[in-house]
Structure 1
Amino acid sequence: MDVHPVILLVGGAHADEIEAEFRARYDRDYRIECVGSATAALEALRDLVAGDVPVAMVASEYRLSDSDAVTLLHQVPAVVATARRVALVPVAEYTDAVDGLRAATLRRDMDTFVGIPRGERDEEFHTALVELLSEWGWSVSRPTVTAVDVVAPEGDRQAGAVHDLLERLGIPNRRLDPLHEDARAVLEEAGSGAQLPVVRAYNGRIITGATPAAVTEAIYGGFDSIPDGSIADVVVIGAGPAGLAAAVYAASEGLATIVLERDAIGGQAGSSSMIRNYLGFPRGISGMRLAQRSRVQAGRFGARFYTGRAAARIEPGPADEPRHHHVHVDGAQMCARTVVLATGVAYRRLGVEGIDDLVGAGVYYGAATSMAREMADRDVYVVGGGNSAGQAAVHLAKFAGSVTMVVRRAGLAETMSDYLVREIEATPNISLLARTVVADGGGDGWLRWLRFQDLDSGSVTLRMAEGLFCMLGAEPDCSWLPGGLALDEHGFVLTGRDTPRESWADGCPPASLETTLPGVFAVGDVRAGSMKRVASASGEGASVLPLVHAHLTWLSEQEYGAPV
């Protein structure tokens, strides 16, 4: 059987030119099928699904003989929820159709619409299609070429954590049962008695008893490779959007820049399936792609990344010689003239013992993108009412039989962007349990049931469940920071005029993003008063650079008597 995923073309008056355009670009890697009506398209999709043939995209001409693209594409998810949906609009009809198409996109009747090419090399047209196919290939399809093999028995939680890490990093990987033929070579390299999981990275390195920290350190470089005696102009702690933006701008301006990240590069945002309101990406971008591109961008400017270990402490420079701070991680130390804290926040735990015992076995904090394929046809619950929870619910709905959002408030509008609220309302297999909390849950080795409590009536309801994704708001982890660094009552880092007045120098507050420790700055979600949005975090990461430059100039004046 042809294993190539299908692109289904639904043509009208321009069917021949549409088919020619697609075959010229995609015929090698996809199976192009063409039909001439909406009725035939739905029949073809049902046959493909019945034959277990993956459908990557349905691209429909705007006007069809028996319908139109909006009506057809609205019906596609009922047959195949994961296919990308595109309306193809003749240029002559574009102006009259554009308002209706925009409204249909907001309703999530389709993923996007593009004008039918009028000549050769219409790269804008193909850019739109390739972006959608790329996201489909990452989030839906299994990789045909892998960079990392993970050998472990089915249900191994540590292997699941490694897989989640690799998915968030955008690294193609596959999980192999130890008895699988392809696993034998990996296990032979690991040696007899190797502890599972065993991971073979793309550089050939074998990791036994693999953990996410060990894998990410093997991929991006270990702290042990930091040259002795090196002093960075900027050490950025945390590689979410704020930290990545700080790294890009610092490195691009010639500053010696080191980025430390204990987990996956991208932070919480890296697990977002699709961010649709980020400036400059009209068709949206996944958190993984945004983090991946930002990391590459910073690296090309010279930033160095070290991952897999958490920063353990910061030792401020002495008052009489404040040339640099000492940043410690387990087994390593580096010197920094300035430090940018961009550690973000972590999802709060439910605190329900039976549920937290099943983390990695049907219960996940975040991880909706990497685990969505495992939720096929299951009943899934998402706890939380923020944008991350909304994005997770929409993505999970493409795979799960049902998705139920559980929130303490009366609805979603107070805590979620309007575009996401509308998308959720337009997704038929997503429902809402408002004014409700998770009271209990359990299962035999895997989550099987949840008990919910209504906050108004106090009544308790038992439901079967095979997946629970918790995104319960956030709290910072700042317990490791030095005592002289001021925090607010919730544990977020205070900066600028929000710092205690007794810490001000000569009656002047620190710079706007500077903490109570000179030369230590805070950006993004870890900072008290931040907006907790990807775009604002990126903006703060960029905005901190003038303050860093000013501090470096001050240090130079202290050391040499004049800026250098």
Structure 2
Amino acid sequence: MTDSAPGNPVILVVAATPEHQAILSDEFASRYARDYDLHVVQGGADAYALKGYLMSEGRQVALVAVDHSLEGGALPLLDKLRVASPTSRRVALVPAARFAAALEELRPALGQGRLDTYLIIPQGARDEEFHTAISEYLSDWSWSATTPVVAGVQIVDDGTQPSIPAIRDFFDRMGSAYERFHPDSDEGRELIASIDGDATLPIVKAYGRDPVTAATERSVAAAFYGTPANLGDDFVADLLIVGGGPAGLAAAVYGASEGLSTVVLESDAIGGQAGTSSMIRNYLGFPRGVSGMRLALRARVQATRFGARLYTGRAVTGLRVGDVHEVDFDGGTLRARTVLVACGVTYRRLGVPTLEELEGRGVHYGAATSVARDMQGRDVYIVGGGNSAGQAALHLARFANSVTIVVRRRSLEETMSTYLIDEIATHKRISLRTGAHVVDGGGEGRLEWICLETSDGVIDRMPADGLFLLLGADPGCSWLPPEVAQDERGFVLTGREIPMDRWVNGRPPAPLETTAPGIFAAGDVRSGSMKRVASASGEGAASVSQVHGHLAPTAPVS
């Protein structure tokens, strides 16, 4: 056991032998003893008793690492610890000599969510792959399960402003740590006193910028990256991207890296709906999974490093097609030689007035990972059967007493990936309610109950502290002009899906080109797309070569 400052988060390591205990104690202490309270014990009984004591003292256990050669097996102990502390990240540590045999047991367990990963016990100095994995899980735990130690954003509110959940969600999706202060606190009074004029709550101050009063998600987002007006009246982009989700970010990276002057307009937070995902496990190149926030953050940094300009809180309101296209947005107009429509989709509204009135007070559209910690010990319902709903359920189950997924269909198989279905099926806090939909709900000032109607017309009323609505997708491109053809649901037609009578000069458009030359579409907003992060990223990247083809001068006819 290594001494550390009291109150630090805990790392609990369980070794099977004295030899492994010595190796693991030295390995973990060399990297983490300063910031974590490290406990390296031998044997599962001692580990479980110690964890019970630590939690009774109010200590947070960030990570549990269990030797796979433990007598009785590592998985039964990890299962018990998962129930006792669901927010802890769980790792199986495998001796190198036992690795091949251990995989037979660990692979299916990983798919069922019984552990987060398995790693070979380090064999020597500087096992950076081992420590990269441990650091990633500690970072993920710190971001999702605890309050930040250092925050660049201050929010002042009294807990009654309905815009607060959306503001918090914006900063979580942008990877910006924040602190909240009551207006009667010392910090709150100081920030209010610094404002000239009306200091209407909520107030948000971020990274030395002027405070935003009467703040909303949109006004905070608009203040985050400045204004496109700074580009100048004569600015014409080579590529203007509408939407900062996976498709838009991939196009921004490839466009800017290949020398195109590239601008991204995003109405909310960079990352789109994918940015709300607590953990994406089937994205190529991330074997341990990656949160939507981290994926978007890395892509944003990558795009800006190549010179792309990204603006949040800028909802596009119109498009005029021409040799140089004009795009209207909140606060102005930008001109561009080509435009990529990558604005994704929006969740459908539930349409129940009593619940719409409680949005932000227990009722949330999207995964709203920022309020997951507020659901500690509560009963939560998720409406939706897609991957986003499955990821939200698994994340919320780390905190909530119970999570119920509600779907109209008879099962999840048609709409959700198998890896999520398998993990949900083994989670004791998650249940599935099929053949039902929400018809009513209410509460005094915040959500307290909902009513579900079954397929045979029976209505059940039950207590509910949180309702997360992921109801399917509608395209977010009602601003497109008639020159850009859409299907009957409003998704943008591209390539050979475009009717022949809309082809220009008798030739089919490029695969991602719309009926308006120089206007392209990629990602979820495109008719026929797969509605997956990887496919959206691929389409965004592929669109850049077609943009180059459009911008290239036409060879003269001899």
Q: How does 1:164-175 map to 2 (within 5 A)?
A: 164-175=169-180
1:236-255 Cα offsets, whole Å, 9 max, x none, are 00000000001001011111
1:16 aligns with 2:22: yes
Q: Which residue is equivalent to 2:280?
A: 275
Written as runs of structure 1 = structure 2, the 5 A alignment for 1:197-216 is 197-216=202-221
Query: In the alignment, what sits opposite 2:372?
Result: 372
TM-aligned CA deviation for residue 223 of structure 1: 2.5
Query: Is residue 53 of structure 2 the alignment partner of residue 47 of structure 1?
Result: yes
Q: Is 2:326 the counterpart of 1:326?
A: yes
Q: Does 1:469 align with 2:473?
A: no
Deviations 1:360-405, CA, capped at 9 Å, x for gaps: 0000001331110011111000000000000000100000000000
Opposite residue 423 of structure 2, the aligned amino acid is E
Aligned length in residues: 551
Structure 2 counterpart of 1:137, one-letter code = S
Deviations 1:241-283 (A, max 9, x none): 0000010010111111000001000000000000000000000
Which digits, 9 at most, give the CA deviation of each residue in 1:473-504, with x for residues without a partner?
10012221111110100010001111122111
1:204 Cα deviation (Å)?
A: 3.9
The Cα of 1:419 is off from its aligned counterpart by 0.3
Aligned counterpart, 2:352: 352
Provide the TM-score with structure 2 as the length reference: 0.97
Counterpart contact for 2:345–2:476, Cα < 8 Å: yes
- The residue that corresponds to 1:240 in the other structure is 245
CA contact (8 A) 1:272 1:288 kept: yes
Aligned partner of 1:222 among 216, 224, 227: 227
Measured in 1, the distance between the counterparts of 2:242 and 2:329 equals 11
- Does the CA contact (< 8 Å) of 1:190 and 1:198 recur in 2? no
Amino acid at match of 1:388: S
**Is the contact made by 1:486 and 1:500 (CA closer than 8 Å) also made in structure 2?**
no
1:340-419 to structure 2, matched below 5 A, reads: 340-419=340-419
2-side partners of 1:190 and 1:521: how far apart? Answer: 44
Q: Tell me if structure 2 keeps the 8 A contact 1:278–1:534.
A: yes
Indicate the residue corresponding to 2:32 in structure 1. 26
- Any idea what SS the aligned residue of 1:206 has? coil
Aligned equivalents of 1:194, 1:367: Cα separation in 2? 31
The answer as to whether partners of 1:164 and 1:367 remain within 8 angstroms in 2 is no
RMSD between aligned alpha carbons?
A: 1.3
Q: Could you state the TM-score of these two structures normalised by the residue count of structure 1? A: 0.96
Query: Structure 1's 155 and 8: CA in aligned 2 closer, same or farther, altered over 3 A?
Result: farther
For 2:259 and 2:476, how far apart are their aligned partners in 1? Answer: 31
Q: 2:162: which partner in 1?
A: 157
In the aligned structure 1, how far is the partner of 2:397 from the partner of 2:198?
Answer: 41
Contact 1:309 1:329 in 2 (8 A): yes
**1:92 aligns to 2:97 (yes or no):** yes
Match of 1:335 in 2: 335
Three-state SS of the structure 2 residue aligned to 1:207 is coil
Aligned AA for 1:249? Y
What is the aligned partner in structure 2 of residue 315 from structure 1? 320
Amino acid at match of 1:198: I
Name the SS of the counterpart of 1:153 in structure 2: coil
Instruction: Measure how far apart 1:292 and its partner are.
Output: 0.4
Counterpart of 1:187 in structure 2 is: 192
Does the residue aligned with 1:178 lie in a helix, a strand or coil? coil
Residue 354 of structure 1 aligns to a residue whose secondary structure is helix
How many Å separate the matches in 2 of 1:475 and 1:138? 30
Mean Cα deviation higher: 200-209 or 244-253: 200-209
How many Å separate the matches in 1 of 2:466 and 2:440? 14
Shift of 1:181: 2.0
Out of 282, 285, 289, the position equivalent to 1:284 is 289
One-letter amino acid of the counterpart of residue 529, structure 1: G
The Cα shift of 1:192 comes to: 5.9
Aligned to 2:7: 3
**Offset of residue 342 of structure 1:** 0.2
Distance 2:57 2:347 in 1: 40
- 2:142 is paired with a residue of what secondary structure? helix
- In the alignment, the residues of structure 2 paired with residue 401 and residue 132 of structure 1 have an alpha-carbon distance, to the nearest angstrom, of 23
1:309-357: CA deviations, max 9, x gaps?
201111111xxxx2x1111113311111100000000011111111111
Instruction: Compute the displacement of 1:67 (Å).
Output: 2.4
Paired amino acid for 1:547: Q
The residue number in structure 1 matching 2:72 is 67
The percentage of aligned residue pairs carrying the same residue is 51
- Aligned residues of 1:37 and 1:67 also touching (Cα < 8 A): no
- Where do residues 108-123 of structure 1 align in structure 2 (5 Å cutoff)? 108-123=113-128
Instruction: Give the partner amino acid of 2:436.
Output: T
Q: Which residue of 1 aligns with 2:447?
A: 447
Relative to structure 2, which stretch is displaced further, 44-53 or 401-410? 44-53
Q: Which amino acid aligns with 1:375?
A: M
1:157 alignment partner, SS class: coil
Q: Quick one: which amino acid aligns to residue 12 of structure 1? A: A
**Residue 438 (structure 2) aligns with:** 438
Deviation at 1:100, TM superposition (A): 1.3
> Quick check: 2:345–2:475 contact (8 Å CA) kept in 1?
yes
Letter in 2 for 1:32: L
Q: Which amino acid aligns with 1:468?
A: L
Q: Distance in 1 between matches of 2:48 and 2:242?
A: 51
- Residues of 1 paired with 2:358 and 2:127: CA distance? 50
Give distance in 2, aligned partners of 1:552 and 1:225.
25
Determine if contact 2:8/2:35 at 8 Å carries over to the other structure. yes
CA distance 1:180–1:367, shift in 2 (3 Å): farther
Shift of 1:214: 2.1
1:494 aligns with 2:506: no
Judged with a 3 Å threshold, the aligned counterparts in structure 2 of structure 1 residues 329 and 378 are, in CA distance, closer, same or farther, namely: same
2:547 equivalent in structure 1: 548
One-letter amino acid of the counterpart of residue 404, structure 2? T
